[in-house]
């Protein structure tokens, strides 16, 4: 069982979109593997993309047992320290709603109730009895992945966890459930700072700023270490939505990418253990995804998998949209290369 969390401490970098691509293309390539998407963002963006129609989320919410991640967490709140063995009521099959998707894809749908539940979850984690209340509560989504893995039986299972940019309790639940982290970023200084925050919040290491270093040492990372809670490793860094000029990334994108590469390579020299492959220099695991808004909008708004995109005229919401062969091929090849890292 392998689980990947898509997270950066900054919004708008394409986490949900890249999670959608990873899940759908992996499921398409490996039909004998059950691919589970767990949507731990209150905005439920990846759920909307998979199910196409936001009304379908309301349908899942309205079931007798709320068929969402919030429904599962609400059940855990009712009995905080009892593991739920049968988690099937919280799982749906996106192909039932979107026929373009592979049949081996599963979804634990996002839900805006997640934000409302977060304070109750946080308070439950701070109970003095049992003494390991924090560790048990932070493992709720990990428990969910274990139960889903059992549900898959002899089939392989892969988990894609879409995270909210914040470091709220539900983001922490997702990260504890993951073994690896995929960090998307875009060409701006705030992406650089957000990557630094990822390292500080998860591992307690400041990068260059003494004040960040001081506070990082008393953060989530410290408590996780004390409680024996496993923390995921930094797996892949994705420079997303790159603007190209004459076949090369623009200077702005190159500058930001080089800054982040240098920062992480320096960190790797001191703390190799926080990387998924300690022997590989982080800058070697950077992936560049060119920007092709026309194709990206089609995929996100009508749930079209990457493998279904065709050059030429495509019907999109009653209109004909033309996808140029050359940029589409470049876009598909880059995203397919990204999926090969899983």
Cα–Cα dist 120/285, whole Å: 38
Phi, psi of 112 (to 5 degrees): -65, -15
pLDDT at 322: 79
Q: Where are the beta strands (DSSP E) in the chain?
A: 2-6, 33-40, 105-108, 156-163, 180-185, 233-242, 244-245, 248-249, 286-290, 312-316, 319-323
Q: pLDDT averaged over the chain?
A: 89
Q: Full-prediction pTM beyond 0.85?
A: yes
Q: What is the maximum span of the chain, computed from C-alpha positions, in angstroms?
A: 62
Within 8 A by CB and 6+ apart from 300, the residues are 17, 20, 49
- CATH class held by domain 13-175: alpha beta
**What residue has token string 């926080």?**
274
Cα–Cα dist 229/216, whole Å: 17
Tokens describing residue 233: 């490793």
pLDDT at 250: 60
Tokens describing residue 221: 């990372």
Hey, where are the domains in the chain? 13-175
Q: Measured between alpha carbons, how far is residue 103 from residues 35, 148, 164 in Å?
A: 10, 16, 26
Say if CB 237 and CB 247 are below 8 A apart.
no
pLDDT at 263: 86
pLDDT in tens, 31-79: 999 999 999 999 999 999 999 888 899 999 999 999 999 999 999 999 9
Cα–Cα dist 48/42, whole Å: 11
Q: What angle do CA 228, 231, 235 make, to 5 degrees?
A: 155
The interaxial angle of helices 15-29 and 325-339, nearest 10 deg, is: 80
pLDDT < 70 regions, the chain: 1, 206-218, 241-252, 317
Cα–Cα dist 176/306, whole Å: 29
Q: Are strands 248-249 and 244-245 parallel, antiparallel or unpaired?
A: antiparallel
């Amino acid at each position: 069982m392998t689980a990947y969390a898509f997270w950066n401490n900054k919004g708008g970098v394409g986490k949900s979109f890249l999670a959608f691509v990873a899940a759908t293309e992996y499921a398409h390539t490996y039909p004998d593997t059950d691919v589970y998407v767990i949507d731990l963002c209150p905005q439920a963006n990846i759920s909307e993309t998979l199910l196409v129609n936001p009304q379908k989320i309301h349908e899942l919410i309205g079931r007798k047992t709320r068929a969402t991640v919030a429904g599962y967490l609400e059940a855990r709140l009712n009995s905080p320290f009892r593991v739920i063995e049968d988690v099937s009521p919280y799982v749906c099959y996106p192909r039932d709603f979107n026929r373009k998707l592979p049949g081996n894809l599963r979804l634990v749908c996002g839900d805006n109730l997640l934000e409302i539940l977060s304070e109750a979850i946080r308070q439950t984690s701070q109970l003095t009895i049992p003494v390991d209340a924090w560790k048990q509560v932070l493992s709720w989504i990990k428990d969910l992945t274990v139960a889903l893995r059992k549900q898959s039986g002899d089939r392989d299972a892969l988990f894609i966890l879409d995270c909210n940019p914040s470091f709220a309790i539900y983001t922490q639940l997702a990260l504890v459930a993951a073994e690896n982290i995929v960090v998307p970023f875009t060409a701006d200084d705030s992406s650089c700072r957000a990557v630094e925050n990822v390292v500080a919040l998860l591992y307690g290491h400041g990068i260059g700023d003494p004040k960040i270093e001081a506070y990082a040492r008393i953060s989530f990372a410290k408590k996780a270490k004390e409680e024996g809670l496993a923390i995921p490793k930094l797996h892949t860094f994705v420079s997303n939505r790159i603007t190209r000029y004459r076949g090369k990334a623009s200077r702005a994108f190159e500058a930001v990418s080089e800054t982040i590469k240098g920062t992480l390579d320096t960190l790797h020299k001191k703390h190799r253990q926080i990387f998924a492959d300690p022997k590989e220099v982080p800058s070697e695991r950077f992936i560049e995804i060119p920007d092709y808004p026309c194709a990206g909008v089609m995929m996100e708004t009508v749930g079209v998998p990457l493998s279904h995109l065709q050059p030429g005229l495509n019907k999109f919401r009653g209109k004909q949209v033309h996808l140029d062969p050359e940029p589409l091929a470049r876009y598909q090849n880059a995203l397919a290369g990204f999926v090969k890292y899983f």
